[in-house]
Amino acid sequence: MSEHNIDSLFIAPDSTIEDAIKCIDGNQDGIALVVDSERRLIGTVVDGDIRRAMLAHIDLKSPVTVILERKPALYQKPISAPVNTSRDTLVELMREKYVRHIPLINEAGQVVDLFHINDLMEMSPGLLPVQAVVMAGGFGTRLRPLTEETPKPMLPIGDRPLMERTIGLLRKSGIRKINVTTHFLPEKIREHFGDGSGFDVELSYVNEETPLGTAGGVSLIDPPDTPLLVMNGDLLTDVNFREMYAYHQEQGAVLTVAVRRYEFTVPYGVVESQDGFVTHLSEKPSFGFFVNAGIYLLEPAAFHRIPKHQHTNMTDVIDQLVAEGLKVACFPIREYWLDIGQHADYAKAQADVKDGKVGV
């Protein structure tokens, strides 16, 4: 069994959700263990719990106990096992309870170790059973003149092109097979990346003779027999694709769309009225929405609903799946994410990379 720095996983019951995020991001195991002063287990918090709290609009400054109280009945009592439990029994418990971590408890009731699904391999996480599609065919009209002779995904961000950062993130996530859809100046992309071997990935290209929308180009690749991660080529992000894949599986979704919280403040006092009389006045109120972040995880069944060689947007595919009563999940992004659509976005991307705000 791999060694775990168990103390680095502990947080106190009076910790906030933000504290749990820092704990999860700061260790290699992807879990925070809520324990009392005697190291007795009170509950567990994993990445999916954080993202479900975000979807429920829970303030991340709230106590972590809010997440524990929201857990389904099956998980109200944390899943754990005695420290001397056999590996086979632990694996069976993982399968039965659909968990990736099992805290191990000694005779005094204290947490002394952790069994992680990666311990089955006695190594770092391996490859994901996922292939990717990077949509790199746009004209980048709003970024002209920068994009007059350069495809938008090839614009330099810091010391290398944006798309090189994207491919690096996919590789880091355990995704090696990557398809690239092209249209505008495709040779610039092919000349830089070739077959991908220089970047330790396997690259394939499909060219859209005419723009086919945010989903139509995906239909041109060979039909996948594994989930397909599709992302826009103009995104700068360090989203945890491993967690997105795990979340997608947990939700039992045919398609998962990544979403980003967007806040909008009305720059005026908003007046509400009825029958000509003021009922309420809000001074510069703020509103929050989840917006499409341009990253999708599709099961083969969702892929097969994309019409071949037709202009189709991913929103059309999602609408069809929802109309059919199939599960389409939302995966809220809490990591760095920036859509580089305009000059101001490009300048921000440069500054953020220089300041170390993005991890790719």
Nearest-angstrom CA–CA distance, 148 and 184: 10
Beta bridge partners of 311: none
Nearest-angstrom CA–CA distance, 42 and 63: 14
Domains 6-120 and 131-354 are alike in CATH topology = no
Token pair 């999602």 is found at 318
pTM: 0.85
pLDDT at 119: 66
- Secondary structure letter of residue 212 according to DSSP: -
Closest CA to 115 of 251, 10, 3, 215: 3
Residues 6+ apart with CB under 8 A from 205: 179, 180, 181, 182, 186, 189, 190
Q: How many CB atoms lie within 10 A of CB 21?
A: 18
Q: How many CB atoms lie within 10 A of CB 22?
A: 14
Domain 131-354 classified CATH 1.10.472.50?
Answer: no
Token pair 């000059």 is found at 343
* Inter-axis angle of helices 186-193 and 162-172, nearest 10: 50
Closest CA to 214 of 285, 317, 326: 317
Structural domain boundaries of the chain? 6-120, 131-354
pLDDT in tens, the chain (360 residues): 456 789 999 999 999 999 999 999 998 788 999 999 999 999 999 999 999 999 999 999 999 999 999 988 878 889 999 999 998 899 899 888 888 899 999 999 999 999 987 766 544 457 889 999 999 988 888 989 988 888 999 999 999 999 999 999 999 999 999 999 998 898 999 999 999 999 999 999 999 888 899 899 999 999 999 999 999 999 999 999 999 999 999 999 999 999 999 988 999 999 999 988 899 999 998 888 899 999 999 999 999 999 988 999 999 999 999 999 999 999 999 999 999 999 999 999 999 999 988 877
Which residue type does 77 have? K
Element (H, E) at 111: strand 111-116
Q: How many CB atoms lie within 10 A of CB 90?
A: 18
- Do β-strands 177-182 and 202-207 pair in parallel, antiparallel, or remain unpaired? parallel
Q: How many CB atoms lie within 10 A of CB 221?
A: 18
pLDDT at 323: 96
CA 6 to chain centre: 26
Element (H, E) at 319: helix 314-323
CATH tag, 6-120: 3.10.580.10
Token pair 């723009």 is found at 211
Nearest-angstrom CA–CA distance, 338 and 359: 13
Closest CA to 31 of 52, 9, 15: 9
pLDDT at 125: 58
Residues 6+ apart with CB under 8 A from 170: 132, 134, 178, 201, 229, 241
Nearest-angstrom CA–CA distance, 119 and 349: 37
- Write out 147-160 in H/E/C secondary structure: CCCCCHHHCEECCE
pLDDT at 186: 87
Nearest-angstrom CA–CA distance, 21 and 334: 10
